[in-house]
């Protein structure tokens, strides 16, 4: 269930979207503790708010921002004797978002940067502990040779932050470290 709206500025330079939502997932996979097999017996819900804003502050300066707040998430039903009923499902942070901006320096150069954040979260199967939230920083530069040829460099996780991307009860998979990606695009 979702209730939302999209609002555009009169000059169409800015657009925003927001929504309140409640999702219910039925037949969620649970582990039967007696048989140690997966069964489709679970149910969970999540209630929250999300918003996006995108547009041009000036003809050369573009911005994008998104934010999600999931204030109520709970496992409603699980396999008989399974852990987790009444708890917040794992891997669902309360807050997450992105803020990104680019600037067209001249007809050939465009530069930008952004932030990505996620609040603390619990690992898979929610053992009762959390990992801290994090913020990563990204940057980009783009050079347009002509209408057909474009060279772009992106650096993700500019600060080389160590953070938990995928979480499990006994270990975690770290997020990608600082990564440089250079692409050349041409149109035929």
In terms of Cα–Cα distance, which of 3, 48, 44 is closest to 24?
A: 44
| C-alpha to C-alpha distance for 85 and 66, rounded to whole angstroms | 30
Between the alpha carbon of residue 106 and those of residues 111, 143, 176, the distances in Å are 10, 10, 32
What does the pLDDT read at residue 32? Answer: 65
Task: Please tell me the pTM assigned to this model.
Answer: 0.84
Per-residue pLDDT of the chain (188 residues; tens, 9 = 90+): 999 999 999 999 999 999 999 999 887 776 666 677 777 767 889 999 999 999 999 999 999 999 999 999 988 887 665 557 888 888 889 999 999 999 999 999 999 999 999 999 888 776 778 889 999 999 999 999 999 999 999 999 999 999 988 887 778 889 999 999 999 999 99
Per DSSP bridges, beta strands 95-104 and 164-167 are unpaired
pLDDT of residue 44: 87
User: How far out from the chain centre does Cα 129 lie?
Assistant: 21
Rounded CA separation 18/131 (Å): 28
Beta strands in the chain (DSSP E): 2-8, 14-32, 37-56, 61-77, 95-104, 109-118, 134-144, 149-156, 164-167, 172-174, 179-186
- Cβ contacts of residue 97 below 8 Å, gap of 6+? 65, 66, 67, 68, 116, 117
- Partners of 102 in the beta sheet? 62, 112
* Separation CA 16–CA 149 (nearest Å): 31
Residue 81 confidence (pLDDT): 56
Q: CB atoms < 10 A from the CB of 105, how many?
A: 12
Predicted pLDDT at 27: 79
In contact, 60 and 110? CB cutoff 8 Å: no
Give the pLDDT confidence score for residue 79 in this predicted structure: 63
């Amino acid at each position: 269930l979702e209730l939302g709206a999209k609002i555009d500025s009169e000059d169409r330079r800015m657009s925003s979207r927001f929504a309140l939502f409640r999702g219910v997932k039925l037949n969620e996979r649970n582990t039967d503790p007696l048989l140690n097999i997966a069964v489709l017996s679970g149910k969970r819900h999540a209630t929250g708010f999300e918003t996006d804003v995108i547009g041009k502050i000036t003809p050369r300066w573009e911005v994008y921002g998104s934010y999600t707040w999931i204030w109520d998430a709970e496992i409603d039903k699980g396999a008989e004797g399974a852990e987790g009923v009444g708890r917040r499902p794992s891997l669902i942070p309360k807050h997450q978002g992105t803020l990104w901006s680019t600037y067209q320096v001249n007809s050939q150069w465009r530069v930008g940067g952004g932030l990505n954040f996620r609040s603390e979260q619990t690992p898979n199967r929610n053992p009762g502990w959390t990992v801290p939230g994090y913020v990563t920083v990204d940057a980009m530069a783009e050079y347009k040779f002509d209408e057909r040829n474009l060279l772009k460099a992106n650096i993700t996780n500019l600060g080389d932050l160590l953070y938990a991307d995928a979480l499990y009860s006994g270990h975690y998979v770290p997020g990608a470290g600082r990564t440089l990606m250079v692409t050349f695009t041409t149109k035929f």
